[in-house]
Amino acid sequence: MFAKTFVAVFMAAAAVTVPASAKTLNVGANVGNVPWEFQDEKGDTVGFEIELVKEVAKRIGYDDVNIENIPFNGLFSAVQSGRIDAAVSSITITKKRLESVSFAQPYYDSDQSLSALKSSGIQGLKDLSGKTVGVDTGSTGDMWATEHQKEYGISDIRRFEGLAPAMLDLGNGGIDGYISDIPAVAYYIKDKPQFTVVERIKTGEQYSIMFAKDSPLAAEATKAISAMKKEGFVADLHEKWFGSKPDASTSTAMDADQPKL
């Protein structure tokens, strides 16, 4: 009798104290992609998209998020095969990609930008006549500046191998402006008040969370992101990582539909 009572009490206690298995969202990311997903000084994976995807996961019923470090090109096959549930890494939504994967609504417009010294007097593209601009070799900014050089009267285009040397030359007066991806520049200058982004150059690129083709998670994440935008969560995230509030005309601030072909 005692043994039976003991077993019954033990099983009841176990039922109370042992939690059910946590529901985990497995997310692939190309860790090292500052400021979207990278390791901090403690070795923790942090970044704009890491915080965003964790909040989305919580809102759609997941208890935990597992971040798996996967090279960018490997994210597509990992999602398609079901190895991971979702992927982030400043992934641009394109019609070609929508043929084989699905995306939640966009949350960042990755346009180009013109940055300059605040003291330069340059307030936008209209002020580039006779000026020298820097670009990253072979980048979207390089292609844009080359295509529009005559239109804006740019006297010279200087090419750099990365953002840091270009911004150094901008600070030293070697170039008058720098045309590059707006998120990288915004993150770089958030604690360097001598610089400013004077104009956003629209290119139509938008980032989102990627899922397997026709995964119901894409629609669920879209609804969650809508709520996060309305509540100011995404705007606050932008201010935290880029040091400024998002432009009201961008997908960081504006609600959007789930992308479709």
- For the stretch 123-157, pLDDT in tens is 999 999 999 999 999 888 999 999 999 999 999 99
State residue 66's pLDDT score: 98
Q: Supply the CATH classification number for the domain 23-109+206-242.
A: 3.40.190.10
Q: Are residues 197 and 114 in contact, defined by beta-carbon separation less than 8 angstroms?
A: yes
Confidence of residue 76 (pLDDT cuts 50, 70, 90): very high
**For residue 2, what pLDDT is reported?**
45
Instruction: State residue 139's pLDDT score.
Output: 85
pLDDT of residue 16: 47
Secondary structure element (H or E) that encloses residue 238, with its range: helix 233-242
The band of 13, judged by pLDDT with boundaries at 50, 70 and 90, is: very low
* Distance (Å) of CA 251 to CA 11, 52, 120, 179: 52, 14, 30, 21
CATH class of 112-201: alpha beta
Determine contact, residues 167/178, Cβ cutoff 8 Å: yes
**Is residue 238 pLDDT above 70, yes or no?**
yes
The pLDDT value given to residue 18: 44
Write down the domain spans for the chain: 23-109+206-242, 112-201
Question: Two tokens at 205?
Answer: 């690129």
- CA separation for the pair 165, 227 (Å, rounded): 40
Mean pLDDT, rounded, for 12-26? 65
Please identify which residue in the block is written with the tokens 């309305």: 230
